[in-house]
Amino acid sequence: MQIPTNKLDLFIRSVEISSYLPGRVRLYSNNLIGNYDLEQQVKAQLMAFAEIDSVQTNTTSGSILILYQPERLRQNAELRKVEEYIMTHARRK
């Protein structure tokens, strides 16, 4: 495992990657449960990427659903690496 090099790496490694389909990723974070401030931070940081279409969160379950267009996202080298990490670490594909 590589040492996280930026906030996005650190974030992805701090959540459980529940499922992955190209264009759809579901993550879980126990830290998100009941934490509305963190929910807003997560949404703001992820939606700062133009390549991400939608971020839906649930502070009751700790769920984060990320929707995107795979071809568009993969044009961003940083996000392409994150997607590759998610592909190999998702519980369900």
Q: What is the pLDDT of residues 14-23, one digit of tens each?
A: 899 999 999 9
7: in domain: no
Amino acid at 4: P
Is residue 7 very low, low, confident or very high in pLDDT (cuts 50, 70, 90)? confident
Which tokens sit at 85?
A: 């990490």
Q: In CATH, what number is assigned to the domain containing residue 30?
A: 3.30.70
When divided into structural domains, the chain yields a total of 1
Residues 31-79: tens digit of each pLDDT = 999 999 999 999 999 999 999 999 999 999 999 999 999 999 999 998 9
pLDDT at 11: 81
Domain range enclosing 52: 15-89
Q: Is residue 70 part of a domain?
A: yes
